Amino acid sequence: MPDAPPHPEPFTSRTAPGALDDLRARLAATRWPDAPEDAGWSLGTDVAYLRELVGHWAGAYDWPTREATLARLPRFRVRVGGLGIHVVHARAVRPAGPALPLVLCHGWPDSFWRYAKVVPLLTDPGAHGGDPADAFDVVVPDMPGFGHSDRPGGAPLDSIAVAGLWAELMEVLGYPRFGAAGGDVGSHVSRYLALDHPDRVVAVHRMDGGLPVFTGKPADLTAEERAWFDEVAAWGTAEGAYGAVHRTKPQTAAVGLTDSPAGLAAWIVEKLRAWSDCGGDVERAFTKDEILDNVMLYWLTGTIGSSMRMYHANSAIPAEQLARRVEVPSGFSLFRGDIVRPPRAWLERTTNLVHLTEPARGGHFAPYEEPELYAEELRTFFRPYRSAAER
């Protein structure tokens, strides 16, 4: 008898009280490092701020209430490619015409959390100051090894493989054609969706151009592109240590980060601060509760190690794959506070660029930092491609 086709099963996470008791005990027993006087954030996470955050985590932070809030999103588990995938699948509310299916691809260090604020703005634009004709059916999957999705049992999956899973997932959900959007690792996944499934992806929106790979002659690059390559190299020297660890020795870091909630928070909050448009004050972009919601999704699922291993997998992607040009109509929103923002010349070289904006607010986590602005970016970009999804 043939296997039944995969179908979504409703999903609700409920944390056992014992897991929270264990967490509080670990927080109380944190063994704190020393720090040079006035080091602040210059050497990594500010230990004084982390003590404050951990104190809030162990005291006022109310995970059961926060978990119930996240549970308001329509969440499911579906078997795809032999893995159980956790996905937010929110259908358009009161659309004025057919809704455009849209898969949103998150990055690191996050999960479906990245898009939690923007989902209702996209599914029900009419209730949030937008045009009901811009409604989307929104799909936000956790990548394998992130959040509530299964970890790959063997080798970690790279962005190409995840793009293939998302194409299959969209088929299971009933969407033969759709739009794709993402940032960070999710930008790579969106790119490969467009590269490998151009007959299904009507258009792709990205928040970055990824790290540059160029196999031609340096003299063929514009001065603007060469300056950007230098900027990226300088950024890698100053800020890229985390990525080197993820690519080469993720299991070493995973031991401490899986065992110590304070260590996990330090690893994540430093990036939330450095990559957001917060002017050096992380709480201008995220409240303590919002920071801890993201950290909790890693802590409770034990996925920090498996999430880092995806960097190892992506580091093995051949250069010829990285150099492929995206011919699907491509749009970019390069938010002011994001890192390593590419010049227009590079985007024109590597994609069929049809739309480029530089919003004045927001950073690497713009869907969470500035959800209204990000939602409007997506509405505007995808508007001309809605009819293509109906063919």
Name the packing angle between helices 17-28 and 261-275 (round to 10°).
80
* Cα–Cα distance for residue pair 32/263, rounded to 1 Å: 10
347-363: average pLDDT: 98
Q: What are the residues whose beta carbons fall under 8 Å from the beta carbon of 168, sequence distance 6 or more? A: 80, 81
Closest CA to 110 of 189, 51, 186, 26: 186
The predicted-structure confidence for 253-284, as pLDDT tens digits, reads as follows 999 999 999 999 999 999 999 999 999 999 99
pLDDT score for 3? 65
User: b/e per residue, 328-356, with b = 16+ CB within 10 A?
Assistant: bbbbbbbbebbbbbbbeebbebbbbbebe
User: In the predicted model, is pLDDT for residue 4 greater than 80?
Assistant: no
pLDDT score for 96? 81
pLDDT score for 390? 73
Encoded tokens for 363? 């950073």
Q: Where are the alpha helices (DSSP H) in 151-287?
A: 159-172, 185-196, 223-239, 241-248, 250-259, 261-275
pLDDT score for 94? 84
Residue type, 147: G
pLDDT score for 391? 65
Closest CA to 86 of 246, 289, 250, 301: 301
333-359: average pLDDT: 97
* Cα–Cα distance for residue pair 109/296, rounded to 1 Å: 12
Encoded tokens for 36? 């040079």
The predicted-structure confidence for 247-260, as pLDDT tens digits, reads as follows 999 999 999 999 99
DSSP 29: T
pLDDT score for 172? 97
User: In the predicted model, is pLDDT for residue 244 greater than 90?
Assistant: yes
User: In the predicted model, is pLDDT for residue 1 greater than 60?
Assistant: no
* Cα–Cα distance for residue pair 10/78, rounded to 1 Å: 9
Instruction: State the first-to-last Cα distance of the chain, in angstroms, to the nearest integer.
Output: 34
The predicted-structure confidence for 173-206, as pLDDT tens digits, reads as follows 999 999 999 999 999 999 999 999 999 999 999 9
Which CATH architecture is the domain 43-390 placed in?
3-Layer(aba) Sandwich (3.40)
User: In the predicted model, is pLDDT for residue 156 greater than 60?
Assistant: yes
User: In the predicted model, is pLDDT for residue 7 greater than 90?
Assistant: no
Using a pLDDT cut of 70, give the percent of the chain over it: 99
pLDDT grade for 5, boundaries at 50, 70 and 90: confident
* Cα–Cα distance for residue pair 277/283, rounded to 1 Å: 10
59-85: average pLDDT: 97
pLDDT grade for 2, boundaries at 50, 70 and 90: low
